[in-house]
Amino acid sequence: MKKDLVRGLKDITFEKDKLCSACQAGKQVANTLPSKTFMSTSRSIELLHMDLFGPTTYTSIGGNNYGFVIVDDFSRYTWVYFLEDKKEVAHVFSKFSKRAQNEFNTSIAKIRSDNGREFDNTNIEEYCDEVGIKHEFSATYTPQQNGVVERKNRTLITLARSMLDEYGISEKFWAEAINTACYASKRLYPHRLLDKTPYELLNGRKPNISYFQVFGCKCYIYKKRQHLGKFQRRCDIGFLLGYSSKSKAYRVFNNATGMVEETYDVEFDESNGSQGAHVDVVDIDKEPLLEAMKNMPIGDIKPKEDEDEVQIVNQPSSSMAPQDGSEQDKILPNEDVHVPQKQIDEQAQDVDAPVQAPQVAPQRRSQLTSGHPMELIIGSPTRGVTTRSRNTAAFVQAYSFVSSIEPTTIDQGLSDPDWVNAMHEELNNFTRNEVWTLEAKPKGARMIGTKWVFRNKQDDEGNIVRNKARLVAKGYSQVEGIDFGETFAPVARLEAIRFLLAYATHHDMKLYQMDVKNVFLNGYINELVYVEQPPGFEDSSNPNHVYRLSKALYGLKQAPRAWYERLRDFLLEKGFTIGRVDTTLFTKKTDNDLFVCQVYVDDIIFGSTNEEYCTEFSNMMAKEFEMSMIGELTFFLGFQIKQLKKGTFIYQEKYTRDLIKRFKMDDCKSIETPMATNAKLKPDESGIKVDQTLYRSMIGSLLYLCASRPDIMFSVCLCARFQADPKESHLTTVKRILRYLKHTPSIGL
């Protein structure tokens, strides 16, 4: 060994005459790529390097998440397009190549990219074959072979990051920053070998940069609007974003309008910081069909004659011409919130004020009456409330035994004695109905979790009459074939209910209703199902035991079918006949009398031409099942029903008022017709889009109301045609229907 640093080592000479497998396994690294010191192309756009970066952390103000960069190998001239999705690459490149070849009067010979699916796909391959472009790819996981554009990506991103940081501009403007960085760099940075700027190499003339300004600097935008008062401001304040690709103008963000404008009449103040740290950007729809409307700030109400003078131009989409080869970004909302300086100053002044410890009153549990919904309470719900004068007995009952606050967690429920009583009542029902048996957990058995659901039960006037705590199984964890089989259970259709009401009216039959208490706890199940102990009520002596179900539990997938089979078998055993078409209809004929029974899960409607049969049926059901309500039919599935001597009147006044309240139309002005006589609804392709979920929710709710309101059926069905792409004109028509309902809430059949 050299220098005799150790003893006992023989002097051996090593020669590397072959590869060592172990050394390669432990030491091998990626091969380096030599730098190019010569030009491989002789003209512009002979070879183009392409790459895609993204998705970015922040969506740009134009709603884009990707940047598509194209670099000319000869001149290093760069184009940038901003895309919402990778799939747009093929379409954008095909349009770019046609425009570039036409503008520079030459052809693209080759393009080079990585192996990403956005480049290596059928669309680009077919286009290249069609126009005769050779497509080269870098080796897999070797971005260094596409180093020209990879390095350009890094340059643009670092420049944009610095530009945004200089004046603290929101990162929502990242696309504008990259766009301007690209615009400036190809006019400033010379080619390493040819010692000319990319702009000069491509266009044959030196660039003029005398008009350059600092990105993000404060600017004053001249108002080119008519009818300005003599003492009104002549300018708006904004900040610079870049330079127009279509005209000799600057791209600026106007803080007053919340829009990106292209204008020549602007003065810059590079000594002051930008106004772009917190801005509100107007939401502009991105559909090409709305291009004409993009030039106007939405919601900005001004006289029509002023609009021609406003120079506000939206950025083109990804398929349009870029800014000097750089794709302009589009305008979308910025979610940053601007806090007024006045508010900050007021808060700062409060800091020096002496702090006085608040006087804490003894905490008392909220006891709200059934006449005070939470949304109508002003102030803290833990404070006492003053109620309207009401019947003493009803007041005491509501005040003492009913809580109007629905808990959202088991801890909240256990902290309220009213809800604790409701949970005990639910567990007593399980014991009374012999629903389950506590057993040791079998080895390998599937466990289904349980949870508490808290709901306030209301009467037909919306008053809270009972606190209901329901223990349900987490049925989503069940596996078909193991802990459940068949699940289908028929229920009465709305048409069947209306037909029964009409039939009963025609035969002078009075209809009654009954509600089976804890209906699903009456159905027997055939599968072996184990559930966990109820949260908050675990057996302290057997905390690891589980419950084996002998009857159905709310939340189990087979629970509705188990109840239906139990009721069906019971009624058939008592001599009833099941309907051939409607299996929820049960009838019984004796001599000249008829008894009918319609079942909707736990709600049962029944009636007979002989009142004695109704009494007999009620007693029979009460002996077999626990009933919570038996009486004359007055309220069913949202329908309010009045059975009179002259006929039966059905209406949905409560549902209508709840509908108006849900869609926040309480304060709207009522109207006497559901639709204008000359209204002609069309797809309205140039209209403003609205929330599709809200629109569909409105239509669905109104369609259910049509069951008792034929006067709105035509209007609702007409509006329902546009659910796939609703516009503001369609939503206005639907709101008119709601205004009409406010005027006529009690109309029915």
Q: Give me the mean pLDDT over the 482-499 stretch.
A: 86
pLDDT range class, residue 520, cuts 50, 70, 90: confident
Q: Return d(Cα 332, Cα 59) in angstroms, integer.
A: 9
Which candidate, 160, 4, 6, places its Cα nearest to that of 80? Answer: 160
Q: How many residues does the chain have?
A: 749
Phi/psi class of residue 324: alpha, beta or left (left: φ > 0; alpha: ψ in -120 to 50)? left
The CA distances from residue 647 to 391, 501, 595, 643, in Å, are 33, 10, 19, 6
pLDDT for the residue 289: 29
Model pLDDT for residues 321-340, shown as the tens digit of each residue:
344 444 444 333 333 334 34
Q: What is the DSSP letter of 470?
A: E
Distance CA 265, CA 222 (A): 6
Neighbours of 581 (CB within 10 A): 6
Closest CA to 317 of 60, 104, 77: 60
318 vs 621, which has greater pLDDT?
A: 621
Q: DSSP letter string over 6-44?
A: SSS---------S--HHHHHHH--PPP-PPP-S-S-SST
The arrangement of strands across the sheet holding 546-549 comes to 436-439, 546-549, 530-531, 447-448
The two beta strands, 134-137 and 110-113, are parallel
Task: Look up residue 511 and give its two tokens.
Answer: 């209809």
Contact (Cβ atoms closer than 8 angstroms) between residue 59 and residue 65? yes
Calpha distance 86→146 (Å, rounded): 19
Whether 80 shows a pLDDT value over 90: the answer reads yes
Element of type H or E holding 131: helix 122-131
Q: Where are the alpha helices (DSSP H) in 249-320?
A: none
Quote the percentage of the chain above a pLDDT of 70. Answer: 80
Q: Give yes or no for a cis peptide into 358 (omega within 30° of 0).
A: no
How are beta strands 639-644 and 250-254 bridged, if at all?
unpaired
Query: Distance between CA 205 and CA 197 in Å, rounded?
Result: 10
3-class SS letters over 581-606: CCCCEEEEEECCEEEEEEEECCEEEE
Tokens of 534: 């109820």
Q: Report, as an integer, the average pLDDT of 554-572.
A: 91
Contacts of 601 (CB under 8 A, 6+ apart): 489, 491, 519, 560, 563
Fold of 494-648: Alpha-Beta Plaits (3.30.70)
Q: Is the pLDDT of residue 31 over 90?
A: no
Fold assignment, 47-166: Nucleotidyltransferase; domain 5 (3.30.420)
Helical packing angle, 653-662 and 692-705, nearest 10°: 170
Of 494, 513, 749, 499, the C-alpha closest to 647 is 749
Rounded CA separation 307/295 (Å): 9
User: Where are the chain's structural domains?
Assistant: 47-166, 209-337, 385-434+443-476, 494-648, 652-743
* pLDDT score recorded for residue 182: 94
Assign residue 88 a region (left: φ > 0; alpha: ψ between -120 and 50; beta: otherwise): alpha
At residue 232, the 3 state secondary structure works out as coil
Q: What whole-number distance in Å separates Cα of residue 343 and Cα of residue 66?
A: 38
9 confidence band (pLDDT: 50, 70, 90) = confident
- Return d(Cα 277, Cα 338) in angstroms, integer: 9
Per-residue pLDDT, 303: 35
Residue listed under structure tokens 């002989």: 610
Tokens 């709600």: give the residue: 603
Tens of pLDDT, residues 378-405: 333 443 433 444 444 444 444 445 666 7
* Other CB atoms within 10 Å distance of the CB of residue 441: 14
Residue 582 to residue 610: CA distance in whole angstroms: 23
The b-or-e profile of 183-221 (16+ CB within 10 A means b, else e) is bbbbbeeebeeeeebbbbbbeeeebeeeeebbbbbbbbb
pLDDT at position 145? 84
| Whole-model pTM over 0.85 | no
Q: Do domains 47-166 and 494-648 have the same CATH topology?
A: no
pLDDT of residue 467: 87
How many other C-beta atoms are found inside a 10 Å radius of the C-beta of residue 337? 8
pLDDT higher than threshold 90 for residue 71: yes
Mind listing the pLDDT tens digit for each residue in 586-626?
A: 999 988 889 999 998 888 999 998 888 898 998 999 888 88
Measured distance between the N- and C-terminal CA atoms of the chain, rounded to whole angstroms: 109
- The DSSP element (H or E) to which 627 belongs, if any, is strand 627-632
> Which residues have C-beta within 8 Å of that of residue 75, sequence separation ≥ 6?
44, 191, 198, 201, 202
CA distance 685 to 726: 10
